[in-house]
Structure 1
Amino acid sequence: MNIRKMLPLALLYAGEEHHIDGRTRFQKLIFLMQMEGNLDGLTPTDTYRFEPYDYGPFSSTLYDDLDDHIEQGLIEDSVEEIDEDEEIVKYEYRLRPEGREFVEKQIADSELESVVQEAERIVREYGDIRLPELIDIVYSKYPKYAENSVLR
């Protein structure tokens, strides 16, 4: 499996109870992992290409990879309806036991071990921050990605 596809698995593996609430949070944490992580030697095919979007940096490829991991039984997703009138839903992504086992097997590769270490650091630093504050942090550090934001 290529490094890029391992990033969401590593992030879930590093997360408390192996889950992440919300698509936007997932996007921001992966973005920060790539921008601030010590992931030396990664090629453009090893990373997600983010573009400025409604809530800052966005990569549709990340959603494609999450869908692939869900189909493979590595990640479980659930959707909670928050506001029926506005059709607002919240996604939760959880690493399944099969996903945890898969990541642990991949960690044997030293390059992937560093990816998991960076994911753990990102979760420690940003994991407990409320989403609006996390978005503000991303916008202040990387203003180019806020230019198409619906929040600005």
Structure 2
Amino acid sequence: MRVAEDMHAEVTATKIQKIFFLLQMEGGKNVGLKFEPYLFGPYSEELNETIIELVERGVIEETAEPLVDPFTGLSLGYKRRFKLKERTNVKVEPEVEKFFAQWVTRDRREILNYVYRKYPDYTRYSVIREKVFGVRNGL
């Protein structure tokens, strides 16, 4: 989060999930998270619980706005954004910080598009797969 703040990058729940997924898959860092195919692509319940804990402890601040399907008008949930409330001196490996910085500045749609195309097994249950990206199971 400190890197995102320094780079003035928006941090959403979707971005966090996908960046940590890519950190494990491509960055070669096993951070002990299990990812499963889910409604918006790869998802880790453990990561979500950690984020909730950090919000409850006051380390990060969460804001949420409704996420509505533009085609049906149905509510898909909330777009959750996070911001560091207090700067901490947590030691992060330089290569992990560099990896995070490389991805956090990218647009959420760009990250999703990359993950959807490269890891179709993790995006097969996505509710936004065809409507937002125009991709099908065959990619």
Shorter-chain-normalised TM-score: which range? 0.7 to 0.9
| CA drift at 1:145 | 0.7
| CA drift at 1:136 | 1.6
| CA drift at 1:63 | 1.3
Q: Percent identity?
A: 30
* Counterpart check, 1:132 vs 2:109: yes
| CA drift at 1:68 | 0.8
* Counterpart check, 1:15 vs 2:8: no
For structure 1, the 5+ residue unaligned runs are 1-11, 108-112
The TM-score normalised by the length of structure 1 is 0.68
1:120 matched residue in structure 2: 98
Aligned counterpart for 2:49 among listed residues 46, 64, 74? 64
**How do 1:1-152 residues align onto structure 2 when only pairs under 5 Å count?**
12-17=1-6, 20-39=10-29, 42=30, 46-81=31-66, 83=68, 86-87=74-75, 88-97=77-86, 100-101=87-88, 104=89, 106-107=90-91, 113-114=92-93, 117-124=95-102, 126-150=103-127, 151=129, 152=136
Bigger helix share: 1
Q: CA RMSD in A?
A: 2.3
Question: 1:74-133 CA deviation, whole Å, 9 max, x = no partner?
Answer: 1111113455x6445321111111xx22xx1x31xxxxx31x541332322x22332222
The TM-score normalised by the length of structure 2 is 0.73
Tell me the number of residue pairs that the alignment of Structure 1 and Structure 2 aligns: 123
For structure 2, the 5+ residue unaligned runs are 130-135
